[in-house]
Copies of this chain bind each other. A is one copy, B any other.
Amino acid sequence: MTREDARALDRADPLAPFRDRFALPEGLIYLDGNSLGVLPRAVIPALADTVQRQWGERLIRSWNEGWIDAPQRLGAKIAPLIGAAADEVIVGDTTSTHLFKALVAALRHDPARRTIVSEAGNFPTDLHIAEGAVACVAGTALKVVDRADLAAALDDDTAVLLLTHVHYKTAERFDLADWTARAHAAGALILWDFSHSVGAVPIDVTAAGADMAVGCTYKYLNGGPGAPAFLYVARRLHDALANPVSGWMGHAEPFAFTDAYRPAAGMKRWLVGTPSILAMASLEAALDLWRDIDLTQIAAKSAALFAILAEAGAAAGLPCVSPTDPARRGSHISFRHDHAYEVTQALIARGVIGDFRAPDVLRLGLTPLYLSHEDVWRAGEHLRDVIATEAWRNAAYAERNAVT
């Protein structure tokens, strides 16, 4: 792969026009959009309108002029990205809070089933929240097993199988339909975490028959730092599952101001408190970009970008820990290196932003909406050079925090 090859791919890229819709910083090759997506230009005027006109001028009246329905309206905009119906998705709260609500609800669904099954090394908050959920339903437990032992762990005590669709570190992807069917065959519900897959790979919860899902909107969906997360519940379960964090926004009549809680119909019952309208406005502008996007083009370009970095990594002698089959991975590529932290820092010093994941992984995100093939080719050249020259030995130490 030469620079000219990469440029040729860019000329033929049907997604290339989307790059201008993002405010990409000069001189940076940003391979961390799987952690925090880039600013869509449309967010700037949308937020200005929300702050200055809707809040500043319309004030409380704005609740009746679009704010109160934002969780459902944004849910409907996410729905096509996961193959759900418009009324099966709602936005608000964090991924962690949605996980908590969904897991407690799943544990209460069939009192004969007492166990959450999940994967060791899953994204930490999924396991942390699962610990918290079982503590809220007497007699339940969390069973965390290695990926190879997941199938055997499912039995007639399993209430819910909690899986993250694409692994945050390795990019390994579970087969959605296959694992949904396995959970159902065991009589269990399945709860998917799409944080590292939504907007990165095609998803069809309806075809898979999935029960519940959560997902992050500040990665591939570019909703902004800490943007509100989404929750999907299949319509057949809407009446059967109840939100344990029974706040007034999920009440059937929040403005009747009654003492007793009565859950709303449909997805509205999963709301808790008043969501941040500024966060919602940013996310909505980011989601509107996706109206015109074909997810199969996203997947195809992701595979092409991956191939460029896989070739560079191989040339540098770096072991790739991500699957070679595009159908079995998400949209990032991870390499193992004993000094992965220092390699990450050396790349950042050259304007190539990826991230380090403990203990030994360099992770590079591939976001087809705003990265060109040439960008990724140049990143690959830097990677080869950093390894070949051992430039990482001089990398300045910086803090390791980075919100995935």
Q: Is A347's beta carbon under 8 Å from chain B?
A: no
CB interface residues, A 270-297, toward B, < 8 Å: 272-280, 282
Question: Would B97 and A276 count as touching, CB distance under 8 A?
Answer: no
Q: Is A8's beta carbon under 8 Å from chain B?
A: no
CB interface residues, A 77-105, toward B, < 8 Å: 93-97, 100, 104
**Cα-based distance from A257 to B358 in the complex (angstroms):** 7
CB interface residues, A 234-271, toward B, < 8 Å: 243-249, 251, 254-261
Identical chains in the assembly? 2
Question: Would B39 and A56 count as touching, CB distance under 8 A?
Answer: yes
A365 to B, closest residue via Cβ? B60
Contact A246:B131 (CB < 8 A) given known A59-B353, A278-B225, A357-B257: yes
Question: Would B55 and A224 count as touching, CB distance under 8 A?
Answer: yes
Chain B nearest Cβ from A137, distance in angstroms:
8
A400 to B, closest residue via Cβ? B255
Contact A246:B132 (CB < 8 A) given known A276-B224, A401-B64: yes
Q: Is A23's beta carbon under 8 Å from chain B?
A: yes
- A: number of interface residues (CB 8 Å): 92
Contacts of A93 in B (CB 8 A): 93-94, 97, 273
Contacts of A68 in B (CB 8 A): 401, 403
Contact A52:B64 (CB < 8 A) given known A96-B272, A255-B402: no
A65 to B, closest residue via Cβ? B399
Question: Would A244 and B128 count as touching, CB distance under 8 A?
Answer: no
Chain B nearest Cβ from A206, distance in angstroms:
27
Question: Would A259 and B120 count as touching, CB distance under 8 A?
Answer: yes
Chain B nearest Cβ from A53, distance in angstroms:
10
Question: Would A94 and B51 count as touching, CB distance under 8 A?
Answer: no
Contact of A97 among B43, B55, B272 (CB under 8 A): B272
Question: Would A131 and B261 count as touching, CB distance under 8 A?
Answer: yes
Contacts of A67 in B (CB 8 A): 225, 403
Q: Is A226's beta carbon under 8 Å from chain B?
A: yes
Q: Is A13's beta carbon under 8 Å from chain B?
A: no
Contact of A261 among B61, B120, B127 (CB under 8 A): B127
Q: Is A317's beta carbon under 8 Å from chain B?
A: no
Q: Is A375's beta carbon under 8 Å from chain B?
A: no
The interface stretch among A29-37, A308-316, A331-339 is A29-37
Q: Is A125's beta carbon under 8 Å from chain B?
A: yes
Question: Would B224 and A128 count as touching, CB distance under 8 A?
Answer: no
Contacts of A97 in B (CB 8 A): 93, 97, 245, 247, 272-273
Contacts of A56 in B (CB 8 A): 23, 25, 38-39
A22 to B, closest residue via Cβ? B56
Question: Would B358 and A255 count as touching, CB distance under 8 A?
Answer: yes
**Cα-based distance from A399 to B66 in the complex (angstroms):** 12
A97-B245, A124-B248 known, 5 other contacts, Cβ within 8 Å: A63-B401, A94-B274, A128-B248, A128-B260, A169-B257
